[in-house]
Amino acid sequence: MSESKPRIGSQEFHEIAPDAYAALIKLSMAIGASGLDLGLVEMVKLRASQINGCAFCTQYHLNAARKHKVPAEKLDLLAVWREAGIFTPREQAALAWTEKLTSIAGNHISDEDYAAVTAQFSTEETAWLTTAIGLINTWNRIAGPLQFTPPIPKPEKELANA
């Protein structure tokens, strides 16, 4: 296996495409202000990033989920959430919706899929959840192919002082 190195770094992407970067950040801020639980949003972003194989986004959202106090057990078992038995019905619905929308090519999103997510989320929440999933998939399709270097988490001492 060859060592991965950035094709275009995240900072360079920001400098090359500042308007695109700003638009993505603005959308991220809108999702953050939507009222959805931010820990849940981070789990959704992390799960999509795992599926898409985006090292940068996986590490980034793992760090963010920790900051939002997502329990370590849930982060450890996120890839096998169906079998884990520790996720709430709402989290399960969000993760199932994430997987459906992330693997959308060749898959039909059925009325049953929609009914499952809307059994746990209001119409407004479903719209924002769907937007969050769309956004992370966009980031995965930028950061993955360009091989952004994953952000290294700060040591515990530094996190405590942050």
Fold of 10-152: AhpD-like (1.20.1290)
Measured CA to CA, the distance from residue 144 to residue 155 in angstroms comes to 25
Q: Are 130 and 97 in contact (CB under 8 A)?
A: yes
Helix (H) or strand (E) holding 154: none
Are the CB atoms for 42 and 49 separated by under 8 Å? no
Do the beta carbons of residue 42 and residue 156 sit within 8 Å? no
- Residue 59 has a pLDDT of 95
Residues of the chain with pLDDT under 70: 1-4, 153-162
What is the model's pLDDT at position 155? 65
pTM of the model: 0.89
Q: What is the pLDDT of residue 107?
A: 84
Indicate the domain borders of the chain. Answer: 10-152
Q: Is 45 within 8 Å of 19 (Cβ atoms)?
A: no
pLDDT value of position 96: 98
Measured torsion, CA atoms of residues 19, 22, 27, 28, in degrees rounded to the nearest 10:
150
HSE (side-chain half, CA atoms, 13 Å) at 126? 15
